[in-house]
């Protein structure tokens, strides 16, 4: 299987001015989701009700579009558009895992596209539980990075002591 790709939903709270998409969304949940996916080192995209699939670096302005307000037909059309954007971004042959950090309105229109490659690690969790789950994942990633840095430092010291 190819690499994993994270798909993070947009949120209502946005910066007041045009920003990189990763910086536009301002909620505590989004900040935690961003920190988590960035800690994985995997590629990620934002699922935007207005723009479809967004690269985190793409500059966009604030907007008020929501998938909930679109209705079922609008969400299906949005899903078709996002599936095409995913094909362009990842290549039609992409077979990697798609990890959704997104609610039902964002996942359901993409289920046909994602098929057996979808994973929803926070499925069934309330917003508070999701934030706690994300915080735990971030903490674990930081601890792993600290241990790795300590091992690197130890290895550097040993090489220095050995005259390497």
pLDDT at position 100: 97
Q: 95 versus 15: which is more confidently predicted?
A: 15
Average pLDDT on 25-53 reads 96
**Spatial distance between the Cα atoms of 8 and 64, rounded to a whole number of angstroms:** 17
pLDDT at position 115: 83
Average pLDDT on 23-40 reads 96
**Three-state secondary structure call for residue 18:** coil
Average pLDDT on 68-85 reads 95
pLDDT in tens, 140-155: 988 887 776 666 555 5
Name the helix (H) or strand (E) containing 8.
Answer: strand 5-9
The per-residue DSSP string of 20-78 comes to EHHHHB--HHHHHHHHHHHHHT-EEEEEETTTEEE-TT-EE------STTTHHHHHHHH
* Percent of the chain scoring above 70 in pLDDT: 88
pLDDT at position 1: 46
pLDDT at position 141: 87
pLDDT in tens, 106-131: 999 999 899 889 999 999 999 999 99
pLDDT at position 162: 59
For the cut 60, the answer to whether the pLDDT of residue 64 exceeds it is yes
Tokens of 102: 């997104």
For the cut 50, the answer to whether the pLDDT of residue 104 exceeds it is yes
Band (pLDDT 50/70/90 cuts) for residue 92 is confident
DSSP annotation of 118 reads: E
For the cut 50, the answer to whether the pLDDT of residue 4 exceeds it is yes
pLDDT at position 94: 87
């Amino acid at each position: 299987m190819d690499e994993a790709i994270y798909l993070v939903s947009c949120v209502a709270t946005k910066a007041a001015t045009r920003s990189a998409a990763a910086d536009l969304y301002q909620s505590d949940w989004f900040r935690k989701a961003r920190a988590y996916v960035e800690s994985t080192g995997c590629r990620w995209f934002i699922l935007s009700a207005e723009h479809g699939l967004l690269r985190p670096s793409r500059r966009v302005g604030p907007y008020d579009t929501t998938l909930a307000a679109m209705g079922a037909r609008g969400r299906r059309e949005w899903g078709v558009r996002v599936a095409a954007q995913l094909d362009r971004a990842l290549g039609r042959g992409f077979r990697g895992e798609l990890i959704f950090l997104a609610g039902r309105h964002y996942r359901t229109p993409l289920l046909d596209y994602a098929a057996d490659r979808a994973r929803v690690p926070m499925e069934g969790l309330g917003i508070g539980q999701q934030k706690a789950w994300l915080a735990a994942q971030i903490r674990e990633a930081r601890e792993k990075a600290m241990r790795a840095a300590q091992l690197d430092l130890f290895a550097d010291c040993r090489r220095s002591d050995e005259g390497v």
